[in-house]
A and B are shown apart, each in its own frame.
Chain A
Amino acid sequence: MPAGPKIADDAPAFVRTAANMMGKFTPHAVAIGFEVAAISRARAVGRVAYREDLIGDPETGVIAGGVVTAALDQVCGMAVMAALDELTPVATLDLRIDYMRAATPGRDITLSAHCYKLTRSIAFVRAVAFEDAEDDPIANATSAFMLTARPAQPEP
């Protein structure tokens, strides 16, 4: 694994200070082995290493679509963070994923996300999953996030 994520100077200050910890506070991201590779303004790149316990089809050894789903959701959320000026809770509203092909067994998967539009309440994100190059994608994702997620209400 690389020493740490590449953080661009244009990334928000709150992201730059916490970049090495990004993802470490998200138990499910840790569980699938998601690592932050790079952060810049409104953009995030992550990586998931191939692991046998994440296999979705035992006959081919291809990693489960669910892992790609979770990693795309994670990297999209990080791109939203990288587009904001201060730490803001976000919640995924929807996530659409098109699967172009199976991931190659044994290969790490890279996920690249761009928060291309931010309104006062909604962030719009595009992401792609690939092994070598974005123009040879495993999957494409588009997602909308709500900013300032309402905290869970205490139980009555």
Chain B
Amino acid sequence: MSKDAPSLPDVEAILARVPYAAFLGVRAEAHGDELTLILPFKKPLIGNPALPALHGGAVGAFMELTAFAQLSVVARLTRLPKTIDITIDYLRSGKPVETFARARMVRVGRRVANVHVEAWQNERAAPIAALHGNFLLAEKA
């Protein structure tokens, strides 16, 4: 990892500047250059109150933010990437507890990055959802 890459405070600063990240209540933790994003549970994230289960859209949005945050670190972006396309697989019902997500860069090209994200709750090996997507990268610093 280049020493020029944004450090964690930068990622938190990026998240803090995005009103929607605050709306969801997303936080970030770094282990070296690998980020874990955390979505604390709150009632407005519920999609199905009968189960209860998290809204698929909220889980998808959380994974998209995880891709943005990890891309910002890896590709040293000064501006947020743009989403070209995303595919979300819903694997398990999201329980009303804290959710975590990590992104893996499948390929980071000059203009486009292909990213895979997994979201899980109590058990890392039992993901509740996965996302893969293509993102258009803005100019590098």
Chain A interface (Cβ within 8 Å of chain B)? 25-32, 52-59, 63-67, 69-74, 89, 91-99, 102, 149, 151-152
Contact = CB atoms under 8 A, between A and B. Distances in A.
Contact of B44 (A30, A66, A99): A30
Nearest to A56: B20
Given A28-B46, A28-B57, A70-B55, A65 B93 contact: no
Contacts, number: 135
B104 to A, nearest CB: 19
Interface in B95-123: 95
A8 B58 CA distance: 29
B75 interface: no
Given A97-B85, A102-B82, A151-B51, A73 B64 contact: no
Interface of B: 17-20, 22-24, 43-58, 60-62, 64-65, 79-80, 82-90, 93, 95
Contacts of A58: 17-19
B19 A69 contact: no
Given A66-B65, A69-B86, A99-B82, A92 B56 contact: yes
Given A26-B55, A28-B55, A99-B84, A152 B89 contact: no
A93 B33 CA distance: 31
Nearest to B93: A152
A99 B85 contact: yes
Nearest to A146: B90
A92 B48 CA distance: 11
Given A66-B57, A99-B84, A94 B90 contact: yes
B19 A54 contact: yes
A93 B89 contact: yes
A37 to B, nearest CB: 18
A152 B48 CA distance: 11
B126 to A, nearest CB: 13
Nearest to B133: A97
Contacts of B43: 27
8 contacts: A26-B47, A54-B19, A64-B20, A66-B24, A66-B57, A73-B60, A94-B90, A99-B83
Contacts of A93: 89-90
A13 B115 CA distance: 43
Most chain A beta-carbon neighbours within 10 Å: one of B54, B80, B84: B80
